[in-house]
Amino acid sequence: MLTPAQRHFQKVMAERRGQADEESDIQRTAHEQILHRLRMDLSRLSGVQSEETKAEMKKSMLPEYEGWIEGTLDGDSGRQDEVITRLMVWAIDCRDYALALRLGRYVVRHGLTLPDNFNRTAATFLTEEMSKPLLTLAAADADADLSSGIAVLDEVAEIVADSDMPDVVRAKLCKTRALARRSATDITTKAEALALFREALTRNPNAGVKKEIATLARDVKKLSADGGTGESDAASTDKTDGAAEPVTEKTTAASAAGKATARKTTTRAATGKAATRKPASQKKN
């Protein structure tokens, strides 16, 4: 762990490296020292096969570069620096997204290049690697709530908005941002998700979002018909239920009246038969 004095020295040297046209011997030495630390850490990582273990190691290593990070961002020179680009990658790998976004914004804005073995621009790498965890989770659990990733992914989209990258990569970001909104219940967020899914499909016909588009389109249409709240269904149900009661009562009353009329008619018929039989009886007697 860095001491406060070491952190301050790193910060000052990083700031001065960005401000000066030419590095002084002290600044050059400071940069060489931080590069040496990076090389040593990379050597340690190369001896580990587990990506999960590597991520934990990177998480523990990052605090050793805090001063250099702060000084570089404050100096804002945009000078090419392998230390900063590597640390952006590490921050993504160990899911320190707050730091990854700070470094990513700086690296992308100044057009810094990643080490040769990455074979991607910084913007492409940032987009793909920040999207990957949520895409993996969505594939593993169709009902997973990914809403916690909305703010992070929206910031990634803002950072790389003007960057050139393959359409399939930007489609991946659109899809991930849409998936993060899929659990929403309000029409605004669902409409945003639908638009993002459609953009993903436009950029990559094989994005695998056609089913989501069909489902969301129905949901948005239904919410739009309900005024965005779904309350009209309940109101309609209440109205129907309320109207059904008088009809039932009226039918019951009519049925009762019919039965009374039937009884009255039967009584009259019986009386008439009795009157007819009486003269026959008198004649026989």
pLDDT at 264 over 60: no
On whether the CB atoms of residues 135 and 208 are closer than 8 A, the answer is no
132 is written with which tokens? 């990957």
pLDDT value of residue 23: 62
Q: What backbone torsions phi and psi does residue 181 show, to the nearest 5 degrees?
A: -100, 0
Spatial distance between the Cα atoms of 12 and 141, rounded to a whole number of angstroms = 47
Spatial distance between the Cα atoms of 163 and 95, rounded to a whole number of angstroms = 23
* Residues 155-210 pLDDT 10s: 999 999 999 999 999 999 999 999 999 889 999 999 999 999 999 999 999 999 99
Identify the burial level of 182 via C-beta atoms within 10 angstroms of its C-beta, where 0-12 means exposed, 13-18 middle and 19 or more buried: buried
pLDDT value of residue 22: 59
202 is written with which tokens? 């436009």
pLDDT value of residue 24: 66
Mean pLDDT of the chain: 84
* Residues 195-221 pLDDT 10s: 999 999 999 999 999 999 999 999 999
pLDDT at 244 over 70: no
Q: At what angle do helices 97-109 and 150-159 cross, to 10 degrees?
A: 10
On whether the CB atoms of residues 203 and 174 are closer than 8 A, the answer is yes
Spatial distance between the Cα atoms of 58 and 21, rounded to a whole number of angstroms = 32
On whether the CB atoms of residues 112 and 84 are closer than 8 A, the answer is yes
Spatial distance between the Cα atoms of 185 and 188, rounded to a whole number of angstroms = 9
pLDDT at 131 over 90: yes
pLDDT value of residue 228: 58
DSSP string over 62-93: GGGGHHHHHHHHHH------HHHHHHHHHHHH
pLDDT value of residue 162: 97
The ranges assigned to domains in the chain are 1-118, 120-228, 230-276
Label residue 16 by pLDDT band (50, 70, 90). confident
Closest by Cα among 25, 81, 43, 37 to 62? 37
63 is written with which tokens? 């605090």
Spatial distance between the Cα atoms of 219 and 87, rounded to a whole number of angstroms = 42
- What whole-number percentage of the chain has pLDDT above 90? 68
Q: Is the pTM of this model over 0.95?
A: no
Secondary structure of residue 201 in the 3-state scheme = helix
The CA-based diameter of the chain, rounded to the nearest angstrom, is 152
- What whole-number percentage of the chain has pLDDT above 70? 77
* Residues 53-91 pLDDT 10s: 999 999 999 999 999 999 999 999 999 999 999 999 999
Q: pLDDT higher for 247 or 70?
A: 70
Handedness of CA 258, 264, 270, 272 (dihedral sign): negative
Measured in whole angstroms, how far is the alpha carbon of residue 89 from the centre of its chain?
A: 22
pLDDT value of residue 27: 74
Tokens 């239904």 correspond to what residue? 222
* Residues 230-239 pLDDT 10s: 444 434 334 4
pLDDT value of residue 239: 41
On whether the CB atoms of residues 107 and 160 are closer than 8 A, the answer is no
pLDDT at 106 over 60: yes
